């Protein structure tokens, strides 16, 4: 690999190339005649490649992107972007130079992109602050609700969030008279699992849900701080990594929106389903109070008890059942 430092020069018009000292129209390029790369062009029209093929004819392919090269006799000609790669061996100087030129060009483009992003640092830092506040606001809405729930139910929500289990099932039992045998009347029962509904977006109770979002925002903030102190000698790979990290600023609105959507989606659930996740009457009753409170309804002890009894009755009636068993 050559260790030359390439000056990257882009020719923006064909006239710029024509004006170069030594430019010769249709001047054949061979690996022996090649001397150095002067720059590259990236037009929105085609120019013809002057690479000389082994059969001594010019390549003549049309290229919008390619290189301007100087030859050993100091003349200047034009080479299509992929032609050297297709026609010359990797160990030729022309291939090595093109590789190094492209690498340096990409490195400079990355620097440019990096400084463009960095120029908006103050706006970005302000935006990060606003986003972090929004996420924390959503987190406190969820935490306020969560902290009122019984620890047994809290665990269930965490486990369900981890297992992505959203359906709420109970077992409904129906009693009915069996056949009379030998003068005895038998009561038979029939039980079946029944789906009451589902609880969407339980992921907001995941132990890392909010911390992951906050961590992402803080990581971008730290990247901006690091970016401020970089030196020109920074390795391209490090610059690239840092660029990717600060470019993540472009996705923070979506991060906040997604969080708001999840939280709002959870609270749009039929929250009475939370009363059917644990069999303990005490847990169910306390959950009923939290759910009523959340809905802005009266949640006194007797109100909550009554509400829960009515919920159970509704389920039994609509499913023609005598008993609800919560597992």
Q: Closest approach of Cβ 52 to Zn ion, in Å?
A: 10
**Number of residues in contact with Zn ion, rule: CB under 5 A?**
6
Of 81-89, 110-118, 147-155, 258-266, the segment contacting Zn ion by CB under 5 A is 81-89
- Per CB under 5 A, which of residues 33..52 are in contact with Zn ion? 49, 51
Nearest Cα to 32, choosing from 4, 62, 60, 73? 73
Closest to Zn ion by CB, 49 or 273:
49
- In angstroms, the CA 104 to CA 8 distance is 7
Q: Closest approach of Cβ 37 to Zn ion, in Å?
A: 15
Check residue 78 for interaction with Zn ion (CB under 5 A): no
| Identified binder of Zn ion from the candidate list 80, 84, 88, 142, rule CB under 5 A | 80
Q: Are 167 and 312 in contact (CB under 8 A)?
A: no
User: Are β-strands 62-71 and 34-48 bridged in parallel, bridged antiparallel, or unpaired?
Assistant: antiparallel
- In angstroms, the CA 310 to CA 170 distance is 16
Q: Closest approach of Cβ 81 to Zn ion, in Å?
A: 9
Closest to Zn ion by CB, 85 or 222:
85
| Region of 195 on the Ramachandran plot (φ > 0 left; ψ -120 to 50 alpha; else beta) | beta
Q: Closest approach of Cβ 1 to Zn ion, in Å?
A: 24
4 Cβ contact list (under 8 Å, min separation 6): 97, 100
Closest to Zn ion by CB, 101 or 276:
101
- Per CB under 5 A, which of residues 50..69 are in contact with Zn ion? 51, 59, 61
- In angstroms, the CA 134 to CA 103 distance is 41
Closest to Zn ion by CB, 59 or 217:
59
301 Cβ contact list (under 8 Å, min separation 6): 289
State the DSSP H helix or E strand holding residue 107, giving kind and residue range, or none if neither: helix 93-119
| Identified binder of Zn ion from the candidate list 38, 68, 78, 83, rule CB under 5 A | 83
- Per CB under 5 A, which of residues 151..210 are in contact with Zn ion? none
Closest to Zn ion by CB, 51 or 213:
51
- In angstroms, the CA 137 to CA 85 distance is 56
Q: Closest approach of Cβ 255 to Zn ion, in Å?
A: 46
Residue ranges in contact with Zn ion by CB under 5 A: 49, 51, 59, 61, 80, 83
């Amino acid at each position: 690999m050559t260790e030359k430092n390439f000056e990257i020069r882009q020719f923006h018009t064909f006239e710029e190339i024509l004006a170069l000292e030594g430019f010769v129209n249709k001047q054949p390029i061979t690996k022996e005649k090649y001397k150095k790369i002067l720059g590259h062009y990236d037009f929105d029209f085609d120019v013809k490649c002057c690479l000389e093929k082994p059969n001594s004819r010019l390549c003549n392919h049309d290229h919008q992107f390619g290189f301007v090269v100087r030859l050993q006799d100091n003349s200047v000609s034009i080479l299509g972007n992929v032609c050297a790669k297709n026609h010359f061996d990797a160990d030729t100087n022309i291939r090595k130079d093109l590789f190094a030129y492209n690498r340096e060009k990409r490195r400079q483009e990355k620097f440019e992109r990096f400084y463009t992003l960095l120029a908006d640092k103050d706006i970005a830092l302000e935006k990060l602050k606003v986003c972090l506040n929004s996420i924390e606001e959503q987190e406190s809405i969820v935490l306020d609700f969560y902290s009122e729930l019984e620890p047994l139910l809290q665990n269930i929500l965490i486990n369900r969030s981890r297992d992505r289990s959203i359906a709420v099932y109970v077992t409904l039992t129906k009693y009915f008279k069996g056949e009379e045998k030998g003068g005895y009347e038998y009561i038979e029962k029939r039980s079946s699992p029944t789906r009451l509904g589902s609880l969407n977006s339980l992921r907001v109770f995941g132990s890392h849900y909010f911390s992951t979002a906050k961590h992402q925002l803080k990581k971008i903030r730290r990247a901006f701080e690091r970016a401020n102190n970089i030196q020109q000698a920074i390795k391209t790979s490090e610059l690239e990594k840092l660029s990717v990290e600060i470019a993540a600023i472009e996705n923070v609105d979506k991060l906040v929106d997604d969080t708001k959507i999840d939280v709002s989606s959870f609270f749009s659930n039929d929250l009475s389903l939370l009363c059917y996740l644990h069999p303990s009457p005490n847990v169910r009753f306390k959950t009923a109070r939290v759910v009523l409170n959340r809905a802005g309804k009266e949640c006194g002890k007797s109100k909550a008890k009554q509400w829960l009894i009515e919920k159970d009755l509704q389920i039994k009636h609509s499913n023609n059942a005598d008993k609800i068993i919560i597992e």
